[in-house]
Structure 1
């Protein structure tokens, strides 16, 4: 199966069956599910991955070779729940990502430390409430997208604000009232132009 790691493709094309960002997210969710110590948390990550891939009529499985590999493949490859590889004309539509290797783990730790440091700077500059909100954003960007906060898109920040923050951060009334200002402070401390996440 062909592996495509292009980061410049925003939409699926003939050469890239899935957007690169979707592949990255699926890989990250898979790793988080494998690392989770709580079964419910692991299930939530796998369900989120399934929802993500369903939008493109894809599925995921883990191939257990010497090193585990994440395999993403089209729904149409399945017959009665089994992939019929001999009947598939274009195997290049399958995508593989290795799941083991120290380099990847080190990269994610670096991202998490970077985001945590930024949240600490927000707290030092603007107080505990904004710091707690910044740490919630750090958790979200590190765990769900494996991205530095400065690279967040408007859509990702909106997802954090509207979905993740109220459901997963257990914010106090004070935190909820301050969230918009907190997000502004995060990007201010990062010295980065904030993405547009509010609806006009």
Structure 2
């Protein structure tokens, strides 16, 4: 089985995103997740440990039990849904932004809000639980493609992110911003 560290198809990322939203109780997101997986011939479920498991429909017999003769681990995907859910992430991040705003200027707040939005919407994770891969993906992919920043904000994004991470008590991630 492949996990989140391996490359997998874009549809798996979409199923994971919808699963993260669905963990918060959004039934429409769960239904859409099942539709996307079903279109590719896969079943989706979230294990108790918070890991999304995707396996081909044809692994299941008529009773919905995995037929071990059809099982091939290379056909399945496991994706950790490392956040506590969208609502939890939003509450924690709102508190963080409120504290951060006390000493931040407008540009720092713009960049901080962009990172918070990325963490919530794409990973359902609070900044305090972000990982190095989140910081890297934000700076090298998401920010470049999705944040319509002015020149000053672009020049200061790394510094803004370092300040936000320090405010969140994540000094361990500061090096990821360089």
Fold match, TM over 0.5? yes
**1:148 Cα shift?**
1.6
1:179 aligned partner: 157
1:193 and 2:142 matched = no
Cα gap change, 1:62 to 1:154, in 2 (>3 Å) = closer
Aligned to 2:48: none
TM-score, scaled to structure 2: 0.60
Residue 122 (structure 1) shift: 2.2
- State how far apart, in whole Å, the 2-side matches of 1:21 and 1:147 are: 17
Q: Equivalents in 2 of 1:134, 1:114: separation in Å? A: 14
Aligned residue pair count:
142
**CA 1:62 to 1:131, structure 2 compared with 1: closer, same or farther past 3 Å?**
same
Q: How far apart, CA to CA, are the structure 2 residues paired with 1:145 and 1:59?
A: 24
TM-aligned CA distance change 1:166 to 1:26, over 3 Å? closer
1:120–1:172 CA distance, 2 compared to 1 (3 A): farther
TM-score of the aligned structures, taking structure 1 as reference length? 0.55
**Offset at residue 123 of structure 1 (A):** 2.7
Per chain length, whose mean CA-contact separation is higher, i.e. which structure has more relative contact order (CA < 8 Å, sep 6+)?
2
Gaps of 5+ in 2: 7-12, 23-27, 46-51, 62-66, 79-83
Q: How far is the alpha carbon of 1:142 from its aligned partner?
A: 1.0
Deviation at 1:132, TM superposition (A): 1.1
Cα distance change on mapping 1:111 and 1:172 into 2, 3 Å: same
* CA RMSD across the alignment: 3.9
Q: 1:144 aligns with which of 122, 147, 165?
A: 122
* 1:92 Cα deviation from its structure 2 partner: 9.5
Whether the 8 Å contact between 1:123 and 1:129 is mirrored in structure 2 is no
1:29 is aligned to: 17
